[in-house]
Amino acid sequence: MHVLDPMPSRVLVFSMAGIGDTLMATPVLRELRAHLPGARIEVVVMWHGSAQLLEGNPHIDHVHAFNLIERPGLQGIRFLTSLRHPRPDLSLTLHPQGRRAYRAVARWVGARRRSSHRYENHCLLDRGLVTDSIPQDYSVSCAENNLRLVDLLGVPRITTQPRYELFLAEADHAWAESWCRSQGLHQTPWLGVHVGSGGTKNLALRRWPVQRWVEFARLWHARLPDVPIVAFGGPGEQDAHDAIQRALPPGLVRVAQAPSIRAAAALVSRARAFVSVDTAFMHIAAATSVPTQVVIETPTLNPPVHPLRPDWIRIPNPAVAGRPLSFYRYDGRPIAGTNEEIERVMLSVAAAPVVDAMAPAF
């Protein structure tokens, strides 16, 4: 009997980690649709931004967005219970959802077949939470780790080179064009930056410090005074943006306040170059094929979350020293070290090498 006989009629894909991780999940959605053209494929996400990035994706039928961190307890149980009917035939808990709670969510929803990865925290309990599991692989991308879950179905893979899929609408591009014109940037090359990062656990500590962004902007202006800097982010970056702008001459760094992450992505696609740490905007810059992309190394920049493109530039972090796994693994724990130690790690990256890496793009 073929592994997919009978064919699943309802598939749930759990992508409840970061927004960038959801972009990394898009190759597996294409793969699933290719093999299950008649199935109803639904994606469960935690963050509103994740849901936005899946809008218009032709490979899925519905997106369920619910923040179990902000709305735990009875509300969360009601949401998860609503996913049980009709009973899914298959669920995939995608990489890098290493916390056991993610696998417990899949068990509660109760698909007949529940696939996940085996992480360092795997134990006998996990055998009751999932029906199929494979070891995670730190040497390959999240996208490849996820495609290996589809391999469990025993079907020939159609994806040879995983790539992001982001389906932006005309309205997103129209907003980006309008914003560029309002800033006089529609015919001027400019540099995009993202000064933030995810805020769960202690991941906000991997941000490049505000003082380094200020140093970077000053060096940039001295070297390329005619190339504007545009800062991206949401409410979580507001304090950093305010601090940076207070420390610099007016107009040196402009802040793009986009109405949605999709509109922000359309604007990112117009940048000549983009620099960030490993954040959702790093993946957006790669998905929109920004000509030059620079990533400042953090303790969390493991190979699974590298941008899905061959030509990005890494700014080495001397304190990480090429050993991010000694700081961070996908086992549910935060970055190793005290807050002060992690902040010193990020402070060890100077501003000048970042300017040197970006300047040739202009």
Can you tell me the distance from the alpha carbon of 19 to that of 23, in angstroms, rounded to the nearest whole number? Answer: 7
Could you tell me which CATH number the domain at 10-151 has? 3.40.50.2000
In three-state secondary structure terms, 45 is: strand
Residues 6+ apart with CB under 8 A from 166: 23, 26, 53, 265, 284, 287, 288
Can you tell me the distance from the alpha carbon of 142 to that of 25, in angstroms, rounded to the nearest whole number? Answer: 8
Fold equal for 10-151 and 170-361: yes
Per residue in 133-190, pLDDT (tens digit) is 999 999 999 999 999 999 998 889 998 899 999 999 999 999 999 999 999 999 999 9
The tally of CA atoms less than 13 A away on the side-chain side of residue 301 is 27
Q: Which of 143, 141, 150, 142 is nearest to 113 (CA)?
A: 150
pLDDT-derived band at 263 (thresholds 50, 70, 90) equals: very high
pLDDT at 41 over 60: yes
134: amino acid identity, one letter: I
pLDDT, position 4 = 56
pLDDT at 2 over 50: no
Per residue in 198-229, pLDDT (tens digit) is 878 899 999 999 999 999 999 999 999 999 99
Q: What are the boundaries of each domain within the chain?
A: 10-151, 170-361
Residues 6+ apart with CB under 8 A from 12: 42, 43, 44, 83, 88, 90, 91, 92, 106, 109, 111
Residues 6+ apart with CB under 8 A from 237: 194, 195, 196, 231
pLDDT, position 19 = 94
What phi-psi label fits residue 319: left (phi over 0), alpha (psi between -120 and 50 degrees) or beta?
alpha
pLDDT, position 1 = 33
pLDDT at 321 over 50: yes
Per residue in 78-113, pLDDT (tens digit) is 999 999 999 999 999 999 999 999 999 999 999 999
Q: What is the mean pLDDT of residues 10-31?
A: 96
pLDDT, position 54 = 98
Q: What is the mean pLDDT of residues 327-351?
A: 96
Is the domain spanning 170-361 CATH 3.40.50.2000? The answer is: yes
Per cent of the chain over pLDDT 90 is 89
> What secondary structure letter does DSSP report for 8?
P
